[in-house]
Homo-oligomer: A and B are copies of this chain.
Amino acid sequence: MEIRTDLALETKERFEKDNVEIKGVVIEEEKLDMECKLTTVKIETENGAKIMGKPKGSYITLDAPEMTEDDEEYRKYVANEFAEILRTLFPRPVRELSVLVVGLGNRDVTPDSLGPRVVDQISMNRHLVKEFGKDVFGWEEECQISGMVPGVMAQTGMESQEIILGVMKETKPNLVIVVDALAARSAKRLNRTIQVSDAGIAPGSGVGNHRQAINKESLGVPVISVGIPMVVDAVTIVNDTMWNLLDALSSDKRSADFCDSLKKFHENEKQELIRELLSPGLNSMFVTPKDVDESVRRVSRMLASGIEIALGTAADEAMAG
């Protein structure tokens, strides 16, 4: 049973907690202003990928604790840092890019609407470039952008991968940016971390709805995935609390031995145990904060800004500055 987090950083932390060293995984950290932090997890070998449960590639995490507060300036700072990260992953100069931005997730479920909302807020120009050329608008240094919201299977009857692949066959972008709401392992991570990766989105990750990989192999062009954790899997929340309980109980003599033995379970055995104890139906549930509407409004705008800054199409020059 796989571990329910979309954040490579959290997977890494878990191993660190267990004092397990992972060969083939390299970590770098950098402190930024505004109490932000940049952590890069590079999974360099197949062995590292296997242990981490994630495909090879770079997973760059921008931790910005205040990103949903009532502070536009802060989000501007974060948007610009996020744009910097994106640029490091671009496969060629911006002016040569033809980008398809894909907003995954369900527009009608508030925490899952992050991807669709980001796409809603990006100005597309592919149709204009195609009809009039870039020079008409003075867009020589900008890239060509198109965007789509494939919807979820219950709405379309189709896999996201099928829809994206089909559209790409017709419109031939040379870069895909996929934006999606992520599932974190810890409730503390919600709404404070942007993960950017060149590894694509693996099957079964996140809220568990994506069956088929969306990555360079499946799409044929580089894929940058962008996400912010908006939910925690209900099973995970229960699991974590339970082991906190066992920690607490260990100090009780009567149960210490027993608890200690339980705690030696592997993570997967633990989760399997919890899953058996859970109410049926909980497997398809998620945990999210009550004010998720305000959070998703704020961070979707921030991501849209960052993407436009990176692509050179931000209307607001001050923002890009």
Contact with B along A227-247 (1 / 0, CB 8 A): 000001010011011101100
A39 interface residue per 8 A CB criterion = no
Stretch from A43-51, A53-61, A86-94, A119-127 contacting the other chain: A119-127
- The answer on a CB contact under 8 Å between B277 and A241 is yes
A112 to B147, CA, bound (A): 20
Contact with B along A9-20 (1 / 0, CB 8 A): 000000000000
A167 interface residue per 8 A CB criterion = yes
- The answer on a CB contact under 8 Å between A280 and B127 is no
Could you say which of B165, B187, B291 contacts A282, with CB atoms under 8 Å apart? B187
Give min CB distance, A143 to chain B, whole Å.
Answer: 11
Given known contacts A70-B123, A238-B238, A294 and B157 CB-to-CB distance under 8 angstroms: no
A292 to B73, CA, bound (A): 29
Give min CB distance, A80 to chain B, whole Å.
Answer: 14
For the residues of A in contact with B, the DSSP-based class is helix
Could you say which of B151, B232, B255 contacts A254, with CB atoms under 8 Å apart? B255
Residues of B with C-beta under 8 A to A190: 281
Residues of B with C-beta under 8 A to A284: 289-291
Residue of A120, A187, A281 ringed by the most chain B CB atoms within 10 A:
A187
A150-208 contacts to B, CB under 8 A, are: 150-151, 153-159, 162-163, 165-171, 186-188, 190, 207-208
Question: Across the two chains, which residue of chain B brings its CB closest to A162?
Answer: B170
Residue of A190, A237, A244, A318 ringed by the most chain B CB atoms within 10 A:
A237
- The answer on a CB contact under 8 Å between B290 and A287 is no
Residues of A that sit less than 8 Å from B by CB: 70-73, 106, 108-110, 112, 119-120, 123-128, 144-151, 153-159, 162-163, 165-171, 186-188, 190, 207-209, 232, 234, 237-238, 240-242, 244-245, 248-249, 252, 254-255, 257-259, 273-274, 277-282, 284-294, 315-319
What 9 pairs across the A-B complex have the smallest Cβ distances? A124-B157, A126-B157, A146-B157, A166-B166, A72-B316, A108-B293, A166-B170, A255-B258, A254-B258
